[in-house]
Amino acid sequence: MKKILANSYIGSLLIMLYAPILIIIIFSFTEAKVLGNWTGFSLKLYTNLFQSGVHHSLSSALWNTLIIGLISAFVSMLLGTVAAIGIYNLKPRARKIVQFANNIPILNPDIITAISLFLLFVSLGISQGYTTVILAHISFCTPYVVLSVYPRLRMMNENLYEAALDLGATPFYALRKVLLPELRPGMISGFILAFTLSIDDFVVTLFTIGNEGLETLSTYIYADARKGGLTPELRPLSAIIFITVLALLLVINHRAAKREQENQKH
Amino acid sequence: MIKNSFGSCRYISMQQTENIITIEHISQIFGEKVVLDDINLSVRKGEFVTILGPSGCGKTTLLRIIAGFQKAGEGKLTIGGVDMTETPPHRRPVNTVFQRYALFPHLNVSNNIAFGLNLKKLDKEHIRKKVKKVLKMVSMTDYEERDVDSLSGGQQQRVAIARAIVNEPEVLLLDEPLAALDLKMRKDMQLEIKAMHKKLGITFVYVTHDQEEALTLSDTIVVMSEGKIQQIGTPTEIYNEPANSFVADFIGESNILNGKMIEDRLVEFAGHRFECVDKGFSPNEPVDVVVRPEDIYIFELSDAAQFTAKVTSSIFKGVHYEMMVTTPEGFEFMIQDYHCFEVGESVGLRVKPSDIHVMKKERIHNTFEATITDKNHVRFLGQVFECKDCQHFEPAAEVYAHIEFNKVILQDNEEDGMISGDVSFILYKGDHYHLTVLTDEGENIFVDTNDIWDDGDRVGITINPNAIKITTR
């Protein structure tokens, strides 16, 4: 009895959580303009999405989102990794301070980050557009990369880098051939995390995107909704994004589980 | 052969050509702590040198300076006659075996070993042959393709040694390489390392805190404590003629007592006079006396006894019995003998003159640089103390303050003391303890006490106004 109650509780919780997304995915396979009308199975909305010209602004918003996501995730990965190595080599007291400073942007509300970046760009007189969005995304993604790389460094044998130097490797060679292979799993996790955060972001993007007509998915959907009624093509797009993020999440979790297993083995 | 700075200059220049490593006046300070204090050392080519000391004595720092992972704060280091004080680690002709192996987890056994050879741009076939040869040497043939994580601790350490010696370094540095292995494996590896040293003929510098390991392996032992070299010598020299009470206590078991040198070849300790072989002390000079537990003869009461005692405990240790005895004068001795004497039994004891080792005392009381503040007070160790011996000195006079070891009072609560510190070293002197207390000012104060304290205890220190004696500087 207790088990049935527990199961139905978790079941209803999951249904409530995922029902909206499920409904969108189901209705992405029909042509109706209004969500909720089922006019028969169709892939029309999917084909519309990928047909150039039909919904030009939506697909360009998608491309902008992906490009901004990839560039800022890549740069964050590099900066975050270097920062993690730097933090690892600090004296304990300085390390604590820098780690604390690294955690502030993570806990800081998005709106504060957004406004402060907006003011910064305005006061520096940088015209807002692609560059400012990417800079903004890099600035809030980097701390997450630091958090995913730093544990790898802690786990690593502390003499590894020295052992490479000892065997005749230059500091750069030791970094490339010994340190980076050890950090790679953390870097990849950090990259994926940064990428999803960047795709997902709305508040910071809205404040730094300027008014030159540049749109990312989140700002496009927002503007679209304000105009009244969402374009039906958003349904297949949401479905695709959801499945992609789910896949990325599964990859991250799988990697974490594998790492855990390896650790237990030793 | 190894020498410290006290060796004669002529001798040094004669030996210079043969020295592979020379360390001159190397000091290292981290924050407030002096990790290495003016270290002077030379290592002869082909020698097996062990740097031995308790944890925190600076031995690993010294090794890291030789390897180049750490820059010396001060001083000069030469390897193979070339000044390498500033040389980065990858340009030094030394290789290191680390305590926790530090194998590259993403490479297999043979790629780990070939790491250094690949950097030297040797051709593939040559490298393969060298890897095979060195694997055979560490008895790890057929392990080439294995993942290093799948190996046991002992096997990983063999690979680590192979990875270092395959580069044919002039000096092999080993940083407590066996500390992570179990006892049986450690004993086996000790023998193998010793054999490897013979076969390769290169210089080994080995760091350990295990005195038995040091005695087994080394040609020369360097005993370190608190950043200073305490003694340099062969294992027999270190064991039979320790330079001071620290070395005597650290190497093997020993009975260390306060004594008095009555005249040449006659010493008094534990309330009796003994013939000995030491000379060159002034009459009645206070000394430290060391007698090893296996050097005291124990037998049933008879006329042959130099002194008597009662057995207080007796433990079987496998080969011998370890017994504690107390003399009527109240001194305790540890004795190791093949014969067992029951607890409570009265026994006769005898020590051969050559088994008594007499050492000069490093100090006979505490001495601090001090400044008179007024007629009744003196300032030292960062604190003003009341003092009855100040009257004859002008205020602000620079003086020495002397305090007998047994006049320093230790308090359980550090708040009760005028200054506080940590007990850093404990020596049992047969009838009392001789403690070294490191004050928060970073200076040592030495204390004789009958109370039992533990290493690391936090204590308050008070000094009776009558106990402070003042002399001019």
Question: What's the pLDDT tens digit per position in A105-161?
Answer: 999 999 999 999 999 999 998 888 889 999 999 999 999 999 999 999 998 988 999
One domain for residues A200 and A241 = no
CB contact under 8 A, A167 and B68: no
Alpha helices in B329-381 (DSSP H): none
Strands of the sheet with B82-83, listed across from one edge:
B33-44, B19-30, B74-79, B82-83
Contacts (Cβ under 8 Å, ≥6 apart) of B256 = B245, B248, B249, B288, B289, B290, B427, B428, B429, B430
Structure tokens at A195: 């990428």
* pLDDT over 70, % of chain A: 96
Q: How far is A157 from chain B (nearest CA, A)?
A: 6
Do B3-240 and B255-360 agree at the fold level?
no
One domain for residues A65 and A136 = yes
Look at phi and psi of residue B221 and say left if phi exceeds 0, alpha if psi is from -120 to 50, else beta. beta
B111 contacts chain A (CB < 8 A): no
| SS3 (DSSP) at A26 | helix
Structure tokens at B301: 């009461």
Which of A153, A157, A166, A262 to substitute to test the interface with B, most B CBs within 10 Å? A166
One domain for residues A164 and A176 = yes
Quick one: which of B372, B375, B412 has its CA closest to B396? Answer: B372
B90 contacts chain A (CB < 8 A): yes
CA distances from B152 to A45, A259, B83, B140, B141 (A): 60, 20, 39, 12, 15
Strands of the sheet with B255-263, listed across from one edge:
B272-275, B266-269, B255-263, B285-291, B357-360
Please give the ipTM for the structure prediction. 0.77
How many C-beta atoms surround the C-beta of residue A172 within 10 A? 8
Task: Write down the pLDDT at residue B1.
Answer: 42
Structure tokens at A129: 């557009």
One domain for residues A50 and A64 = no
Q: How many A/B residue pairs have CB atoms within 8 Å?
A: 65
On whether residue A222 sits in a domain, the answer given is: no
On whether residue A226 sits in a domain, the answer given is: no
pTM value > 0.90: no
Please count the structural domains in chain A: 2
CB contact under 8 A, B96 and A162: yes
One domain for residues A89 and A134 = yes
User: What CA–CA distance (Å, rounded) separates A216 from A239?
Assistant: 17
B198-230 burial, b for 16+ CB within 10 Å, e for fewer?
eeeebbbbbbbbbbebbbebbbbbbbbbbbbbb
By C-alpha distance, the chain A residue nearest B31 is A91
The arithmetic mean of pLDDT across residues B39-43, rounded, is 94
Question: Are B97 and B164 in contact, with CB atoms under 8 Å apart?
Answer: yes
Domain boundaries, chain B: 3-240, 255-360, 366-472
Tell the burial category of B236 from Cβ atoms under 10 Å away from its Cβ (0-12, 13-18, 19+): exposed
Q: Which residue has the tokens 């204390």?
A: B447
On whether residue A97 sits in a domain, the answer given is: yes
Which of B94, B115, B165 to substitute to test the interface with A, most A CBs within 10 Å? B115
Residue-number span of the structural domain to which A141 is assigned: 57-217
On whether residue A122 sits in a domain, the answer given is: yes
One domain for residues A116 and A195 = yes
CB contact under 8 A, B104 and A160: yes
Q: Which residue has the tokens 């070299």?
A: B229
The arithmetic mean of pLDDT across residues B311-317, rounded, is 94
Task: Write down the pLDDT at residue A264.
Answer: 64
Q: Cα-Cα-Cα-Cα dihedral of B153, B159, B163, B168, to 10°?
A: 110
User: What CA–CA distance (Å, rounded) separates A238 from B69?
Assistant: 54
On whether residue A159 sits in a domain, the answer given is: yes
> Does residue B8 carry a pLDDT above 80?
no
Q: What is the pLDDT of residues A64-107, one digit of tens each?
A: 999 999 999 999 999 999 999 999 999 889 999 999 999 999 99
Chain B residues 130-159 with CB within 8 Å of chain A: 149
User: What CA–CA distance (Å, rounded) separates B314 from B296?
Assistant: 15
Sign, Cα dihedral of B120, B126, B128, B130: negative
One domain for residues A23 and A74 = no
For residue A172, the Cα-to-chain-centroid distance in whole angstroms is 30
Question: One-letter amino acid identity for A100?
Answer: F
One domain for residues A16 and A84 = no
How many C-beta atoms surround the C-beta of residue A82 within 10 A? 15
B382 contacts chain A (CB < 8 A): no
Residues of B within 8 A of A167 (CB-CB) are 90, 95, 115-116, 119, 163-164, 167
One domain for residues A131 and A240 = no
One domain for residues A183 and A111 = yes
By C-alpha distance, the chain A residue nearest B96 is A166
The arithmetic mean of pLDDT across residues B420-440, rounded, is 89
Class of domain B255-360: mainly beta
CATH number of B3-240: 3.40.50.300
Identify the CATH assignment for B366-472 out of 2.40.37.10, 2.40.260.10, 1.10.3300.10, 2.40.50.140: 2.40.50.140
One domain for residues A74 and A50 = no
Q: For residue A52, report the phi and psi dihedrals to the nearest 5 degrees.
A: -70, 145
Question: One-letter amino acid identity for B39?
Answer: I
On whether residue A64 sits in a domain, the answer given is: yes
Q: How confident is the model at residue B290 (pLDDT cuts 50, 70, 90)?
A: very high
One domain for residues A76 and A173 = yes
Nearest residue, CB atoms, A167 vs list B95, B100, B106? B95
Q: How far is B20 from chain A (nearest CA, A)?
A: 18
